[in-house]
Structure 1
Amino acid sequence: MKLQCEVEVINRMLPTYGMRNRGKGARAVLSIGRHLDKITKLNSIYLMICTLKDKAGSKYKLKENIEQFFTRFVEDGKATVRLKEPAVDVCLSKADANNLKTFLSAARLAHRGSDTDALPLSALTAARSRDVEKPKSKMAITSKKDYPLTSNFPYSLDQLQVSYCKLSRVDMRMLTLKKLRKLDLSNNHIKKLPATIGDLTCLAELILHNNHLESFSVALCLSTLQKSLQHLDLSQNRLHGLPAQFCNLRELVHLKLDDNQLVRLPFRIGRLSKLRFLSAARNQLPYLPSEFRKLSLDSLDLFGNPFTQPNPLDHTIQLKFPLTLLEMAARATVNHRIPYGPHLIPAHLCHDLEVAKTCDCGKACLNYFIQTSVNMNLHHVSHTVVLVDNMGGTEAPVQCHFCSLTCYSVFLDKCLQRSTR
């Protein structure tokens, strides 16, 4: 039975001699196994600690030799085993919590001398160098010949780059790396992302630049990425659109969507309140969604999109008099923030409420509205703006929705007043 972690062995007698402990842990492999006692000539159970400097290991007898276990922080991978002879404290840290609990249970049984036959024990042997070396936290693979086919990725990785390897799908072995904070799969041939990427609870940066992605799944937008993902690079892919649920990724700070085939941005993009850097250059955007005006960015790049020149009088009227009962009930639900969910109303109605439009008056409209577009100076939402076109423009059309003819008339009056000044 073995455990990999950091260990500090503290001699409790040193202070009586006016000496201090080193106070620093070292990467080690702890083993519980049988060893021939030179005095009794019997096989006894020992705890062996092997480090890079001492691969042969130091052995400590366990039977009736543990004074106390300190396990208050065992969920954090920390514990201390106090031995009677010699008078040392074995301080463990940076261990896997489940493995640590199992290891301590085995040590407790060995101390009592009971049920030891049931323990998976073997003879104690010296540790290998790779077992006691500091865990690898970063790995970069930039050619197909270096890609590991028979060995797993180190479990301790928090940054992994796999580029130029012609991957057509995400290797499921990557998705077992629970400590992963940055995953760079740029310059491959990936067409689809597995929903299990959402199980990487620590993932803060996902780079998928220059792949063959055609969609970004709703499942990823509803996963734990909502709470962790801060940097997302989807540039140079084949995306035509992003789901409405994309705006659930509210921790996003950096978003790159350049060189795709996007014909629209997420309708609720204004919900990305932490977004500071947005680039969606060289797409097929004819206009921006109405909630774009709610963003507060440091940098914005929309160069090379075929934005249409807006005309407030060029509008689409989709109204019905009187409004349907469904439309009135839905508007009231959104306007008064009435709680709803699939346990209360049909799921398709929940989706309709999620994508409700917001009128200039601040009220909601769903299926019945008047739609037009107006020019907006992008400096209103961003400190730095890359020119929209080669003519030096920093304006782009933004969609507007109106819940009634009254609201639309008020809007036209404002436009007329501005044009006559």
Structure 2
Amino acid sequence: MRLQCEVEVINRMLPTFGMRNRGKAARAVLSIGRHLDKTSKIQNIYLMICTLKDKAGCKYKLKENIEQFFTRFVEEGKATVRLKEPAVDVCLSKADANNLKNFLSAARLAHRGSEVDSLPLTALAPARTRDVEKPKSKMSITSKKDYPLTSCFPYSLEQLQVSYCRLSRVDMRMLTLKKLRKLDLSNNHIKKLPATIGDLCCLAELVLHNNHLEAFSTALCQSTLQHSLQYLDLGQNKLRALPIQFCQLRELVHLKLDDNEMLCLPFKIGQLSKLRFLSAARNQLPYLPADFRRLSLENLDLFGNPFKHPNPLDHTIQLKFPLTLLEMASRAAVNYRIPYGPQLIPAHLCQDLEVSKTCGCGKACLNFYIQTTVSMNLHHVSHTVVLVDNMGGTEAPVLCYFCSLTCYSEFLDKCLQRGR
């Protein structure tokens, strides 16, 4: 039985001599196994603690030698074993909770001396250096020759950079690193992202700059990344659009989409309420989605997009008189916030309701509407705006929808009044 964790051995007798324990927790490997006592020639079960400074290890007898277990914080990977002789407390921390529970159970059985034969005992051998070194939390690989082909990535990694390695796909070994908070795969040849990236429940930063990505999958948008992902760099790829579900990544603070082939931004981008930094420079955006008005940004960069000059009279009419029953019912469901779901109505109707448009009057429209573009000063949504073009402008066209001819006529009247 072995356990890797941090250990501090506290001598309880020192205070009686007016001394203090000056030690601190160190990375260690704990083992429970048999050892032959050279004096009594009797085999007993011992607890051995090996650290980087003492790889040979220090042994403590277990049978009838444990005074008390302190396990209140065992779920947090913490526990203390109080020994009778010598009078020390073995304080354990930063351990895997399940492994710690099994280890304490084995120590308890060894103390009682019962069922010893059933214990998973370990040979009490000196520890290897790599077992007692502090777990590696960061790794950076920036050359193909340094890429590990036969060895695994350290399980304790929290930050991993693999750049300039010509990767054509994401290595599945990376996706087993459950503590990973930052994954940088920039400057590779990755064409597709596996859905299992969404299993990295702690992932807060994902950098995919300068790859060959053509799509960002719906599965990733509906994974645990919804609750963890804060920084996403998709710059310098081959993306033309993002799925509607992309706006379910509501923890996003920083989004980079520069140097792609984007023809439109996500339809419901206004749902990204925590987004503060957005850059989508040098794409193919002719206009911005209507929901763009709901953003509240600190920095916005849309330079180098072929924005079209808005003309309220240049419109698309997609109306039908009278409206279909489906359209009227769908508008009512959105306007009155009637609960819906695939358990109540067909899934394709749910999808239609999720992409409903909002008219200037505040009411919804789905498949029948009038569409035009209006000019908006980007300072309305961002404190700092990078100039949209070389002419020094900070205005861009934004889509605008109307649910009826009446609403559109009122809008045109207001435009004429402003023009006078």
Partner of 2:248: 248
Q: Superposed, which structure 2 residues align to 1:250-329 within 5 Å?
A: 250-329=250-329
State percent identity of aligned pairs: 85
After superposition, the CA RMSD in angstroms is 1.2
- Structure 1, 411-420 or 252-261: larger mean CA deviation: 411-420
Partner of 1:73: 73
Distance in 2, matches of 1:252 and 1:276, equals 8
Residue identity in the other structure for 1:183: L
Q: Superposed, which structure 2 residues align to 1:37-116 within 5 Å?
A: 37-116=37-116
Per the TM alignment, residue 23 of structure 1 is displaced from its structure 2 partner at its CA by: 5.3
Distance in 1, matches of 2:325 and 2:55, equals 77
Distance in 2, matches of 1:41 and 1:112, equals 21
Per the TM alignment, residue 211 of structure 1 is displaced from its structure 2 partner at its CA by: 0.4
Q: Is the 8 A contact 2:31 2:122 kept in 1?
A: no
Distance in 2, matches of 1:324 and 1:90, equals 75
Partner of 2:230: 230
Per the TM alignment, residue 122 of structure 1 is displaced from its structure 2 partner at its CA by: 2.9
Distance in 2, matches of 1:191 and 1:246, equals 18
Structure 2: which 5+ residue stretches go unaligned?
Answer: none
Distance in 1, matches of 2:220 and 2:116, equals 46
Q: Superposed, which structure 2 residues align to 1:11-30 within 5 Å?
A: 11-22=11-22, 24-30=24-30
Per the TM alignment, residue 185 of structure 1 is displaced from its structure 2 partner at its CA by: 0.1
Query: Equivalent residue of 2:374, what SS?
Result: strand
Residues 63-88 of structure 1 deviation map (CA, whole Å, 9 limit, x = unaligned):
12222222221121111111122221
Per the TM alignment, residue 147 of structure 1 is displaced from its structure 2 partner at its CA by: 0.3
Partner of 1:393: 393
- Structure 1, 90-99 or 32-41: larger mean CA deviation: 32-41
Q: Superposed, which structure 2 residues align to 1:131-142 within 5 Å?
A: 131-142=131-142
Query: Equivalent residue of 1:48, what SS?
Result: strand
Residue identity in the other structure for 2:402: F
Q: Is the 8 A contact 2:69 2:80 kept in 1?
A: yes
Query: Equivalent residue of 1:399, what SS?
Result: strand
Distance in 1, matches of 2:358 and 2:383, equals 25
Residue identity in the other structure for 1:365: C
Residue identity in the other structure for 2:162: V
Per the TM alignment, residue 315 of structure 1 is displaced from its structure 2 partner at its CA by: 0.9
Residue identity in the other structure for 2:209: H
Per the TM alignment, residue 292 of structure 1 is displaced from its structure 2 partner at its CA by: 0.4
Query: Equivalent residue of 1:102, what SS?
Result: helix
Partner of 1:175: 175
Q: Superposed, which structure 2 residues align to 1:372-391 within 5 Å?
A: 372-391=372-391
Residue identity in the other structure for 2:17: Y
- Structure 1, 13-22 or 205-214: larger mean CA deviation: 13-22
Per the TM alignment, residue 354 of structure 1 is displaced from its structure 2 partner at its CA by: 1.1
Query: Equivalent residue of 1:245, what SS?
Result: helix
Distance in 2, matches of 1:338 and 1:400, equals 25
Residue identity in the other structure for 2:307: F
Distance in 1, matches of 2:45 and 2:316, equals 82
Per the TM alignment, residue 303 of structure 1 is displaced from its structure 2 partner at its CA by: 0.9
Residue identity in the other structure for 2:248: N
Query: Equivalent residue of 1:341, what SS?
Result: coil
Query: Equivalent residue of 1:180, what SS?
Result: coil
Distance in 2, matches of 1:361 and 1:41, equals 92
Partner of 1:144: 144
Distance in 1, matches of 2:264 and 2:44, equals 71
Query: Equivalent residue of 1:362, what SS?
Result: coil
Distance in 2, matches of 1:58 and 1:38, equals 15
Query: Equivalent residue of 1:7, what SS?
Result: strand
Per the TM alignment, residue 127 of structure 1 is displaced from its structure 2 partner at its CA by: 1.0
Partner of 1:410: 410
Residue identity in the other structure for 1:294: R
Distance in 2, matches of 1:115 and 1:242, equals 60
Partner of 1:204: 204
Structure 1: which 5+ residue stretches go unaligned?
Answer: none
Per the TM alignment, residue 319 of structure 1 is displaced from its structure 2 partner at its CA by: 1.4
Q: Is the 8 A contact 2:331 2:364 kept in 1?
A: yes
Residues 186-242 of structure 1 deviation map (CA, whole Å, 9 limit, x = unaligned):
000101111111111111100000001010011111111111111000001010100
Residue identity in the other structure for 1:107: A
- Structure 1, 184-193 or 17-26: larger mean CA deviation: 17-26
Query: Equivalent residue of 1:235, what SS?
Result: coil
Partner of 1:353: 353
Per the TM alignment, residue 130 of structure 1 is displaced from its structure 2 partner at its CA by: 1.4
Query: Equivalent residue of 2:139, what SS?
Result: strand
Query: Equivalent residue of 2:67, what SS?
Result: strand
- Structure 1, 271-280 or 78-87: larger mean CA deviation: 78-87
Partner of 2:156: 156
Per the TM alignment, residue 123 of structure 1 is displaced from its structure 2 partner at its CA by: 2.1
Distance in 2, matches of 1:95 and 1:138, equals 19
Per the TM alignment, residue 346 of structure 1 is displaced from its structure 2 partner at its CA by: 1.3
Distance in 2, matches of 1:185 and 1:419, equals 51
Residue identity in the other structure for 1:233: D
Between Structure 1 and Structure 2, how many residues are aligned? 420
Partner of 1:340: 340
Distance in 2, matches of 1:366 and 1:112, equals 72
Partner of 1:419: 419
TM-score, length basis structure 2: 0.98
Distance in 2, matches of 1:142 and 1:120, equals 42
Residues 343-371 of structure 1 deviation map (CA, whole Å, 9 limit, x = unaligned):
22211111111111111111211111111
Distance in 2, matches of 1:137 and 1:40, equals 45
Query: Equivalent residue of 1:117, what SS?
Result: helix
Query: Equivalent residue of 1:351, what SS?
Result: helix
